[in-house]
Amino acid sequence: MKIGMICYPTHGGSGVVATELGKELAKRGHVVHFISYQLPFRLDRYQQNVFYHEVEMLAYPLFKYPPYTLALVNTIAELAEREQLDILHAHYAIPHSFCAHMAREVMEERGLRVVTTLHGTDITLVGSDPSFNRITRFSIEKSDGITAVSESLRAETYDTFKISKPVRTIYNFVDTKSVFRIPGSRTEVGCPQATCKVLVHVSNFRPVKRLLDVINIFARVRQEMWARLLLVGDGVQRREAQALVEQLGLRKDVLFMGTQDNVVPMLSAADLFLLPSEKESFGLGALEAMACSVPVVATNIGGIPEVVVHGETGYLAPVGDVDAMSRYALEVLSDERKLQRMREAARRRAEDFFGSERIVPQYEEFYQEIINGATDN
């Protein structure tokens, strides 16, 4: 198949899933064309059957808000025509799915199929906002195939948009052959001793991630044991988080690592991953941590309970319940045998349920069904 993959290039779950999916499909012999405003960060080396097309933008003084979406439509239409694409796969409804439909209109091409993968905030925050509600619904309804990254997001899509089209759940995945715990990584984060526990959080530091809860949980752990917190990422809440770290006197123990292309070395140093989000359709960061044999303490919202099994691969608590999450963190970190058991269970779950060899064929089959015109759920 010839597939156009439209995605965000930056450090966010939807862009990571799109890029990893494209690379996996290319390995299986499909031709994949990525379309974005910059090179997706995980597309960092040449791979056969993978192409990248940057959206060209005309800078013109009249444009107070340069119309990126129109340039994107133009790029998609040109590319789809030239390469005779079979499938346009839009990751994140706004604006990618909408632009894919517009490109199809521009081309007056009825054979090209549009698949939309809903990732989370495109439904729960952005898409449900009145300013985007109509076009999000339009984008979903007009898609030939719609996938959601968890059962929870699928249900929320039906609830929010009352759509008539079937939405298929295809879980996010991780390539467990390349994402695994690298021995010896603890020394690199300055915590070589097993008695020093390493906690990690990876996100874009948006309010929805509740970064301050991460720090407050860590503060309680630190009162009881020698520990270090790695905060990987950046975003609007960084300054507030830095201020809280100062106020709690934790400067020495909390490392702001900044945005990182490769999080595996940091996950490999970790004993526990914290994800106290307010909303989370899946929690790809948690899955990558599990693939590196790291148990997760998280909130029991959205799709997280479909990824993290409470009491087996980590612990779940209500949003904002810092007390409970701190207790769970201490419970697992102070019991070596439990920690080891959970480590193994986390890795096993990543392999057994979310490995790329299990999930990627589900996309291939879905594309094929859509091309054949059979898209029942």
Scanning 13-21, 179-187, 322-330, 344-352 for contacts with ligand GMT by CB under 6 A, the matching segment is: 13-21
Residue with smaller CB distance to ligand GMT, 92 or 366? 92
Residue 89 interacting with ligand GMT (CB under 6 A): no
Residue 149 interacting with ligand GMT (CB under 6 A): yes
Residue 9 interacting with ligand GMT (CB under 6 A): no
Rounded to the nearest 5 percent, the helix, strand and coil shares of the chain are 45, 20, 40
Q: Buried b / exposed e across 252-280, counting CB within 10 Å, b at 16+?
A: ebbbebeebeebbebbbbbbbbbbbbbbb
CB of 318 to ligand GMT, least distance (A): 17
283, with CB counted inside 10 A (0-12, 13-18, 19+), is: buried
Residue 299 interacting with ligand GMT (CB under 6 A): no
Note whether 73 and 102 are within 8 A (CB): yes
d(CA 86, CA 222): 54
Tokens for 170, please give them.
Answer: 């295809």
Across the strands, what pairs with 23?
none
The site that binds ligand GMT (CB under 6 A) totals a number of residues, namely 20
Tokens 């106290």 belong to residue: 276
Residue with smaller CB distance to ligand GMT, 151 or 323? 151
Residue 17 interacting with ligand GMT (CB under 6 A): yes
d(CA 55, CA 41): 16
Residue with smaller CB distance to ligand GMT, 186 or 279? 279
Residue 36 interacting with ligand GMT (CB under 6 A): no
Residue 12 interacting with ligand GMT (CB under 6 A): yes
Contact letters for ligand GMT, residues 47-86 (x by CB under 6 A) = ----------------------------------------
Residue 14 interacting with ligand GMT (CB under 6 A): yes
Residue with smaller CB distance to ligand GMT, 286 or 330? 286
Q: How many residues does the chain have?
A: 377
d(CA 26, CA 47): 8
Cα Rg of the chain, angstroms: 21
Note whether 85 and 79 are within 8 A (CB): yes
What's CA 246's distance to the chain center, in Å? 30
Tokens for 274, please give them.
Answer: 């914290």
CB of 102 to ligand GMT, least distance (A): 21
Residue with smaller CB distance to ligand GMT, 148 or 221? 148
Site for ligand GMT, residues 251 to 290, rule: CB under 6 A = 279-284
CB of 204 to ligand GMT, least distance (A): 5
Scanning 14-22, 24-32, 70-78, 322-330 for contacts with ligand GMT by CB under 6 A, the matching segment is: 14-22
- The upper half-sphere exposure of residue 294, i.e. CA atoms within 13 Å in the direction of its Cβ, equals 33
Residue 307 interacting with ligand GMT (CB under 6 A): no
Residue with smaller CB distance to ligand GMT, 21 or 221? 21
d(CA 281, CA 197): 28
Return the residue of 40, 95, 120, 145 that touches ligand GMT, per CB under 6 A: 120
Site residues (CB under 6 A) for ligand GMT?
A: 12-15, 17, 92, 119-121, 149, 172, 203-204, 208, 279-284
